């Protein structure tokens, strides 16, 4: 179990690094954020399954619900920006 937690933490750090180095497309940035949320979800599921406390069981589902809502808002923003500007390049968006 310790190796799995170490691998998940390493994957989270790699995703944060990819997010900080990504400066071109908005869609790639949103994919990095979704990957981070999926890793956090996996960590939370592992923690709640090993702790066996009944009060923490709904937390992964709540996190997953919030993550899906954020993905829907992000995708709608990408579609709106692509329709107005013609692409999703971050360098063309002065409002960010």
pLDDT tens digits, one per residue of 37-59: 999 999 888 888 777 777 777 88
Helix axes 26-51, 2-21, angle to 10 degrees: 160
Per-residue pLDDT, 37: 92
Task: Indicate which CATH number applies to the domain containing 35.
Answer: 1.10.287.3510
Structural domains in the chain (count) = 1
What is the phi/psi pair of residue 57, to 5°?
A: -65, -40
The answer to which of 16-25, 30-39, 63-72, 82-91 has the lowest mean pLDDT is 82-91
The C-alpha atoms of residue 18 and residue 11 are separated, in whole angstroms, by 10
DSSP label at residue 25: B
Q: Give the residue from 18, 31, 14, 15 showing the smallest Cα distance to 70.
A: 31
Q: 9 is in which domain, residue-wise?
A: 2-92
* Chain mean pLDDT for the chain: 84
Nearest-angstrom CA–CA distance, 74 and 89 = 15
Alpha carbon distances (Å) from 55 to 51, 58, 61, 86: 10, 7, 13, 47
């Amino acid at each position: 179990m310790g190796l799995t937690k170490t691998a998940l933490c390493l994957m989270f750090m790699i995703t944060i690094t990819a997010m900080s180095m990504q400066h071109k497309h908005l869609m790639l940035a949103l994919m990095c954020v979704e990957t981070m949320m999926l890793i956090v979800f996996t960590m939370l599921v592992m923690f709640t399954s090993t702790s066996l406390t009944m009060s923490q069981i709904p937390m992964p589902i709540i996190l997953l619900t919030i993550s899906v809502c954020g993905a829907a808002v992000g995708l709608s923003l990408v579609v709106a920006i692509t329709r107005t500007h013609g692409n999703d390049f971050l360098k063309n968006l002065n409002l960010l």
